[in-house]
Structure 1
Amino acid sequence: MTRTWTPGDADAALSAIAATPRLVVALDFDGTASPLVPDPMAARALPEVAEQVARLAALPDTVVAYVSGRSMDDLRVITEHTDDALIALAGSHGAQYWYPGVGAAEPDATGTAEGSREELWEAARPIIDRYEGAELEPKTFGMGVHTRTATPEVEKAVFAEIDALVAERFPHWRRRAGHRVLEFSSRAEGKDAAMTALREHFDATAILFAGDDVTDEDAMRVLSGDDLGVRVGPGESAAALRVESPQQIALLLETLADERASLRE
């Protein structure tokens, strides 16, 4: 059962994960580290979130990773990620990775559905262009259809047409629906795969994962043992804790960083 975390309150689960020997803090980006904004490429982490991410990444035996549906190139832009960054990245819902000290890891060639992304873009673009407020986001393994500035009626109509297109021509592609976005990928990976990859790469004894969307529940459901899931905002969730906003994520990360730093003094 998901319980609401109140900033300033002690929480046994948060204290326990602060004490784990090797910690991975994995954060969704849009709606978690950053508020949702009309222009997806204008998203940036809240300054208070970025500050706590930097604090955590500087602690011994502690890794911070952004885990996103964004393609790696776009994820590096919005996270303001540099080649010497200490922050790990998992893009395309766990199909792409960037590790500190290593760089980009080539994705596994398996798991790609039939049809090319260019064919999908070419078929979808005339549909999307007919709807005001709908935007096509080309992705490494597919596309996203954003409707953040569209009316609910437009969103329903454009999503229905795109669903029909994909069902007819790209039936094996993975479909994901999120906050004002519909995505299709030729890859089968979800954020559950990202949890496994990050755990193995960093030999983590526990993962704290925070996310706000339906796609983040893939990751929440595979957390176990000493892990901790944090849901941002409303909605059913497998997470143990819930916070109201990215601003509260910053406060939760601050509490985690304070407790973890004190244990290493």
Structure 2
Amino acid sequence: MTSARTDPSRIDDEIERLATTPRLLVALDFDGTLAPLQDEPMDARMTDDARAAVLALTGAPGTTVAFVSGRSLHDLRVIGEHDDDSPILLAGSHGAEFWSPGSGAASTPDDADDGELRDRLRARAEAITADLDGVWIEPKSFGFGVHTRLATPDDAARARDAIDSIVVRDAPHWRRRTGHNIVEYAFRHEGKDTAVATLRERIGATAVLFAGDDVTDEDALRSLDGDDLGIHVGTGETAATIAVPDIAALARLLQRLAERRVAGRE
């Protein structure tokens, strides 16, 4: 049985509605939304279809594309194959870092005490998990992530419990986020809702399309208003208006949207 979120006629109606908005922001999560999840996170790259759809949208009238990710800005530029000539805006570290065409990366205040605590806790996390196969600590601009994709359930639980304990004790003010086989800890509290709000204001968007696949994307999906469109990639509970089953389906939707925005201005 087709749900309201996956009803093809509803999806078509939403595409037609967004096709005519004067200034559209297309804000897209990266991992799991445009690129398949990888055992080695830095191996992530957009699928060919997703890349083609993103390129088509960047050329559509009145349309701005942004990648909104929990990755650090540096890592997002690597996996997004993003160079200085790109028209794509970036929001990294869940909206704590930004990159814009023409001006590049926005400077981010870095408190020395926060940086020292980040480095100390990350070193502790690496030491705690050194003997746990498949557990990997990812350095991040404002904290670190604990990847457990390749770990056994028992080792993943041991890593999470041990690191939770030291963060609660030494950095109770930090934000904790969970995602697909990852727990992230950060001293900055911005979320993807913050990123979307900043990008919306920056370009004067009359409507926003946001698409994501993970728990951390729900902040942005819940922040959207009646003129916007939220898309969930995959299954499960979501605040999104519509849902598509996978990256390929999202790429087709984005390609159709680009075509309709071009046709509407001809």
- Please, what TM-score do these two structures have when normalized by structure 2? 0.94
1:47 and 2:48 equivalent?
yes
Q: What are the equivalent positions in structure 2 for 1:15-30 lying under 5 Å apart?
A: 15-30=16-31
The Cα shift of 1:198 comes to 0.5
- In the alignment, the residues of structure 2 paired with residue 51 and residue 11 of structure 1 have an alpha-carbon distance, to the nearest angstrom, of 20
Aligned CA RMSD, in angstroms, stands at 1.8
The Cα shift of 1:108 comes to 5.5
1:99 and 2:100 equivalent?
yes
* One-letter amino acid matched to 1:120: L
1:235 and 2:201 equivalent?
no
Match of 2:6 in 1: 4
Q: Is there any run of 5+ residues in structure 1 with no aligned partner, and where?
A: none
Match of 1:132 in 2: 133
Q: What are the equivalent positions in structure 2 for 1:1-265 lying under 5 Å apart?
A: 3-6=5-8, 11-107=12-108, 116-265=117-266
- In the alignment, the residues of structure 2 paired with residue 116 and residue 205 of structure 1 have an alpha-carbon distance, to the nearest angstrom, of 41
**Number of aligned pairs?**
263
The verdict on how the C-alpha distance between 1:237 and 1:85 changes in structure 2, with shifts beyond 3 A counting, is: same
The verdict on how the C-alpha distance between 1:5 and 1:113 changes in structure 2, with shifts beyond 3 A counting, is: farther
Q: Deviations over 1:84-128 (max 9, x none)?
A: 101110000000000112211123669x96962111111111112
The verdict on how the C-alpha distance between 1:2 and 1:153 changes in structure 2, with shifts beyond 3 A counting, is: farther
Q: Deviations over 1:191-217 (max 9, x none)?
A: 010011100111100110000000000
CA contact (8 A) 1:2 1:239 kept: no
CA contact (8 A) 1:75 1:91 kept: yes
The Cα shift of 1:255 comes to 1.2
SS at match of 2:95: coil
The Cα shift of 1:225 comes to 2.2
The Cα shift of 1:5 comes to 4.9
Q: Deviations over 1:233-265 (max 9, x none)?
A: 112111000001111111111111111111011
The Cα shift of 1:20 comes to 0.7
